[in-house]
Amino acid sequence: MEFDKGSFRDPAGKIFYHENEVFRYVDKNFNNRLNFILENDLLNILYSKGLLIKTECISTNKFNNFFNKDDVTILKHEKIPYISYPYEWCFSQLKAAAIHHLDLHLFLLEKNATLIDASAYNIQFIGSKPVFIDVLSIKPYQEGEFWFAHKQFCENFLNPLILYAKKKIKFNNWFKGNLEGVYTEDLNNILSFFDKFSYTIFTHVYLMNKFNNKFKKQESEFKVKNKNKLSKKSFVFLLKQLRNFILSLKPKKNISIWENYSTMNTYNKIEENNKKKIVEEFIKRNHLPKIIDLGCNDGVYSKIATNNNNNYVVGFDFDDNSIDRSFCELNSNQKNFLPLILDASNPSSNIGWNENERKSFKSRAKFDGLLALAFEHHLCIAKNIPLEETIKWMSSIAPKGLIEFVPKNDSTVQKMLSLKGDIFPNYSENHFFNLLSKFSKVISVNQITDTGRKIYEYKI
């Protein structure tokens, strides 16, 4: 049994793993909250509506060696195929997560329930579908209670979306530097006078900032909150108003040279079809339940992988426009492809309390198969990562995979070299082959272009 190091903040219960399954124990001091959830059949109702991860109460007998059965209740959760974080999401993913949170909260209010917090980390994606995972955040609603999670919702959802939509500033690195998202004070300082003409921005950013500055002392803030009663009708209106505003937000995209790469690249039609065929045959030949697609762009090869053997594919690309486009093109119920943002030269590390609260990319990168097509030269040439380090890193992610080698005479590499000169004497196909052979067994080699692009299949 292993406890999740990221669930320590919740006194009501902790996540733990046993035999590759996900569980949560509920402390007996919070049985009233759980009993309310169970008595109102909220686990089944919310799951049937697609709002909550599948959850059930189970017998504690299996865990008698770990817990006193009189002290805890055990919940079993559906396992998320791949845990992701807001700093890996595109604009449309964070927007979808925000809408999902608000829809859940509005439905709970209909059932005389509410949420105790508004953390973006309580939302996960199964493919393109957002789902709420923190069951113990649900509690009975008390008429007139203040929305204590208002500030958290703004910092985790509203502020990052406004920052991107209004100022073309990506929120991803803000989340990496601050797990709580974008502080209202910071956003208020960035927004212009005219930005604040919006009722929502004026209310939830400008006035929120004024409130925070006026009542920074916890005791004073607590007193003020308890004097301001909020009727359920007003609560619902507030949530719906935020929902409508967030739905109206559109990202002001920066120009990206890679956004349309899958349709505007150096391959001709025959070469492109040949490349797709190699990917399809590789997927069909191998049992690969979970696949990583490095440099997935808009997901053209990821989608080929999902069409075979019911594989789950996680695609990564550093270009947020490509990921946003890929996510928006997915069916709302497509559950086997998750596109995410990743700068492979600077992947996310272990961060948060004791550097364990949020797991690094490397610790989560446990895949059965790898696609790295037209990718390695971006690390070796554009980012100056040594070829040996690149091959070693990629081959360590999955025991089987396809890696495309792009030679120096290729037009894409020529453009990269024109910016810095040819300072890469060891970048060659022969060296690539020797290194890949060092870390794995080369199964096959297929040339796909006249310029010498080749796809290598390897196996550890």
**Looking at the structure, do residues 290 and 244 belong to the same domain, yes or no?**
no
Contact 73, 31 (CB under 8 A): yes
- Chain centroid offset of residue 221 CA: 33
Owning domain of residue 35 = 2-79
Span of 2-11, 80-89, 230-239, 359-368 with lowest mean pLDDT: 2-11
**Looking at the structure, do residues 315 and 455 belong to the same domain, yes or no?**
yes
pLDDT band at 100 (very low <50, low <70, confident <90, very high): very high
**Looking at the structure, do residues 290 and 216 belong to the same domain, yes or no?**
no
Six-digit token string for 313: 């594919």
Mean pLDDT of 397-418: 95
Q: For 48-97, what is each residue's pLDDT tens digit?
A: 999 999 999 998 888 888 887 777 899 999 999 999 999 999 999 999 99
Q: For 197-220, what is each residue's pLDDT tens digit?
A: 999 999 999 998 888 877 665 544
**Where is the domain boundary, 248, 280, 306?**
248
The CATH number assigned to the domain holding 302 equals 3.40.50.150
Residue 70 covered by a domain: yes
Contact 74, 16 (CB under 8 A): no
The CATH number assigned to the domain holding 21 equals 3.30.200
pLDDT band at 260 (very low <50, low <70, confident <90, very high): low
In 134-181, which ranges are E strands? 138-140
**Looking at the structure, do residues 166 and 279 belong to the same domain, yes or no?**
no
**Looking at the structure, do residues 217 and 276 belong to the same domain, yes or no?**
no
Residue 91 covered by a domain: no
pLDDT in the model for residue 65:
83
**Looking at the structure, do residues 137 and 182 belong to the same domain, yes or no?**
yes
Residue 366 covered by a domain: yes
How far, in Å, CA of 38 to CA of 431, rounded? Answer: 61
How far, in Å, CA of 377 to CA of 373, rounded? Answer: 10
How far, in Å, CA of 373 to CA of 368, rounded? Answer: 17
Q: Are strands 72-77 and 55-58 parallel, antiparallel or unpaired?
A: antiparallel
**Looking at the structure, do residues 227 and 287 belong to the same domain, yes or no?**
no
Neighbours of 229 (CB within 10 A): 11
Q: 343-355 burial, b if ≥16 CB within 10 A, otherwise e?
A: ebeeebeebeeee
pLDDT band at 268 (very low <50, low <70, confident <90, very high): confident
pLDDT in the model for residue 252:
73
**Looking at the structure, do residues 244 and 305 belong to the same domain, yes or no?**
no
Residue 374 covered by a domain: yes
Contact 265, 332 (CB under 8 A): no
Residue 94 covered by a domain: no
Q: Which residue has the higher pLDDT, 302 or 333?
A: 302
pLDDT in the model for residue 205:
94
pLDDT band at 299 (very low <50, low <70, confident <90, very high): very high
Residue 95 covered by a domain: no
Residue 98 covered by a domain: no
Contact 435, 388 (CB under 8 A): yes
- Chain centroid offset of residue 224 CA: 36
How far, in Å, CA of 219 to CA of 208, rounded? Answer: 18
Residue 350 covered by a domain: yes
pLDDT in the model for residue 350:
95
pLDDT in the model for residue 265:
59
**Looking at the structure, do residues 323 and 366 belong to the same domain, yes or no?**
yes
How long, in residues, is the chain? 460
Interacting residues of 322 by C-beta distance below 8 A, sequence separation 6+: 256, 258, 259, 261, 296, 297, 298
pLDDT band at 266 (very low <50, low <70, confident <90, very high): low
β-pair partners for 454: 405, 447
Six-digit token string for 161: 């979306």
pLDDT in the model for residue 373:
97
User: Is the pLDDT reported for residue 454 higher than 80?
Assistant: yes
Q: What integer best gives the mean pLDDT of the chain?
A: 92
**Looking at the structure, do residues 359 and 320 belong to the same domain, yes or no?**
yes
Mean pLDDT of 94-121: 97
Q: In what order do the strands lie in the sheet with 337-341?
A: 337-341, 312-317, 290-294, 369-372, 400-405, 454-459, 441-447
pLDDT in the model for residue 227:
52
**Where is the domain boundary, 31, 62, 79?**
79
**Looking at the structure, do residues 380 and 445 belong to the same domain, yes or no?**
yes
Q: Are strands 337-341 and 441-447 parallel, antiparallel or unpaired?
A: unpaired
Fill in the amino acid letter for 160.
P
**Looking at the structure, do residues 300 and 189 belong to the same domain, yes or no?**
no
Six-digit token string for 11: 């006194």
Structure-token match 């069909």, residue found: 284
Span of 207-211, 246-250, 277-281 with lowest mean pLDDT: 207-211
How many domains, the chain?
3
